[in-house]
Amino acid sequence: MTIGCKGNRTFRLNSYSDKKLALTIDNNLSCLLEMLRFNVKHNILFFRITSDLIPFASHPICKFNWKSNFKDHFSEIGTYIEANHLRISMHPGQYTVLNTPIQSILNNSMADLLYHVDVLDAMELDTSAKIQVHVGGVYGNKEMSIIRFCERYYNLPERIRRRLVIENDDRSYTCSDCLAIHEQVGIPVLFDSLHHELKNRGESIQNAIEMSSRTWETQDGIPMIDYSHRRKNGTPYGHIDTLNAKYFKLFLEQTKQYNFDIMLEIKDKERSALEAIQIAWNDERLVKVKNDL
């Protein structure tokens, strides 16, 4: 938000053209690299790439071969990510739902997942670069909806399955539900702290993190966690505007025995990220790690 470059610029469908798309992609990729350089400079080593990087990539209107035309750009970004040991993730929007009973939504969801995979594959990132999704809706029958998710996951192309992870949500599927799905299909479980705060089965944060961490294999990298907490005003489901240092320090204390990459889902983005890093480095338990680095 502070570097003067907007990396998710898009445009309306009724103004689509290949020329405009190419210009937008060029801008977005250039800004993405600038953001990554900012992150490296400030020791922010985990970054979520916007789903709007390539506008309309999963829409039928897009016939432009962006992967080929921007191959060198993707290669440059991927090389930079690897050289600086950055961790990357992506998070499709709420309309990408695998367990939907509606075929058209499923078709669109599949196209969207393929687009996200194409982005990470174009950068030649290993399988620690993940795409996180929610399990989906309940649709009047939670058991059948879980079965439908598992069946759909089994039938996914391998190039999607190897990158996909599920997270607990704040309305329908708890961490325990996600762990049960993992037992059936082996998909890693990403723990979301705010969602767990809003919907759980009485599991402690420590227990939920311990159990979800066990679902990650070596090729998946260390577990990922989404961090936010309940807002004091307004809907509790929204992400907070800025980091609360007191709550964040408590979270670090509660989870000090576990190793994970933490994604801040906080609206002021790098401002809170920089504060969180400073809090972590000031923690005496991390002094040895800092010196070793």
Q: Is a pLDDT exceeding 80 seen at residue 236?
A: no
How sure is the predictor about 11, in pLDDT bands with cuts at 50, 70 and 90? confident
Q: Is a pLDDT exceeding 90 seen at residue 93?
A: yes
Share of the chain above pLDDT 70, in %: 96
| Helical (H) or strand (E) element with 88 | strand 87-90
Q: Which residue has the higher pLDDT, 241 or 282?
A: 241
pTM above 0.85, yes or no: yes
Domains of the chain: 13-281 (3.20.20.150)
The closest alpha carbon to 90, from 54, 37, 137, belongs to 54
Q: Is a pLDDT exceeding 60 seen at residue 292?
A: no
Which residues, 6 or more positions from 104, have their beta carbon under 8 angstroms from its beta carbon?
Answer: none
What digits encode the pLDDT tens for the residues 32-89? Answer: 999 999 999 999 999 999 999 999 999 999 999 999 999 999 999 999 999 999 999 9
Q: Is a pLDDT exceeding 50 seen at residue 290?
A: no
For the segment 230-247, the average pLDDT, to the nearest whole number, is 85
How sure is the predictor about 166, in pLDDT bands with cuts at 50, 70 and 90? very high
Which residues, 6 or more positions from 45, have their beta carbon under 8 angstroms from its beta carbon?
Answer: 39, 84, 85, 86, 87, 261
For residue 86, give the 3-state DSSP assignment: coil
Q: What is the pLDDT of residue 28?
A: 96
